[in-house]
Amino acid sequence: MTHEVTVNGGERMADQTLSNEHKNVARLLALDVPMLDIAAQSGYTIVEIANLRGKPEFAAFLQKCRSGEEQEAAPESVERLQQEAGTSLEVLITLRDHAESETVRLNAAKELLSRAGVGSESLDAAIVLDEAVVDMLKRAGREGLIVFEDEDDGSTDTADAEAV
C-alpha cells in the first residue's frame, strides 16, 4: 500500500520506500519511546535511527504518525518493548554500578533518573553544615572574604548562614 504525504510546502512524496521496520521505528519515536529502547527492540543502532530521521520520507512518515494521520498501530513492537523493559532496566542498573567508564556510569544514572521522572530541576539539595563550619563561614563573611546570595531575590548578605 502506498501512502502520499505532503512535505516541503506541498511537494508530494510516497512513503512506499520505507520498510515495515522503519515504519515501526517512526511509530515508536512518535510515541516518545527513548531511542535507546527503540534501538534495543529494533536491532538498529542509535546512529542508524538518527540517520533514518534525516531521510525526507522517514521524516514525513514520522510527522504523519505524530499528527495522528497514521493510525496503523504497531502493537507487537509496543508489546515487545514492555516485555523487555525489565531487562533494559537491569542493564542500566548494571552499567550505573559496574561500568569502567565514569561517563557511562553517569549517563546510566541520568537515564534511570529520567525514567523515574526525576529531572535536574526537580532535585532540591540541602547542605547540612556543623556549627563550627557555619561560624567559620560567618567570620569569612564579616571579613568580606565571601558573600552569601539569596537565590530567591538575589540580595546579598555577608552573614546569613545559620546552623540547623
The x, y and z cell numbers of residue 49, run together, are 535511527
* Regions of the chain with pLDDT less than 50: 1-15, 159-164
Containing H/E element for 96? Answer: helix 75-98
Q: What pLDDT, on the 0 to 100 scale, is given for residue 7?
A: 42
**Residues forming a β-bridge with 148:** 157
- What is the rounded CA–CA span in Å between residue 72 and residue 3? 12
The confidence score (pLDDT) of residue 55 equals 92
Q: Which residue has the cell 516541503?
A: 8
pLDDT in tens, 13-55: 444 578 888 988 998 888 888 888 888 888 888 888 889 989 9
Residues ≥6 apart with Cβ < 8 Å to 73: 27
Q: Say what the alpha-carbon torsion angle 123, 107, 27, 45 is, to the nearest 10 degrees.
A: 180
What's the pLDDT score for residue 163? Answer: 40
Contact at 8 Å (CB) between 3 and 15?
yes
**Residue type at 20 in one-letter notation:** N
Strand (E) positions, 86-143?
A: none
CA 48 to chain centre: 18
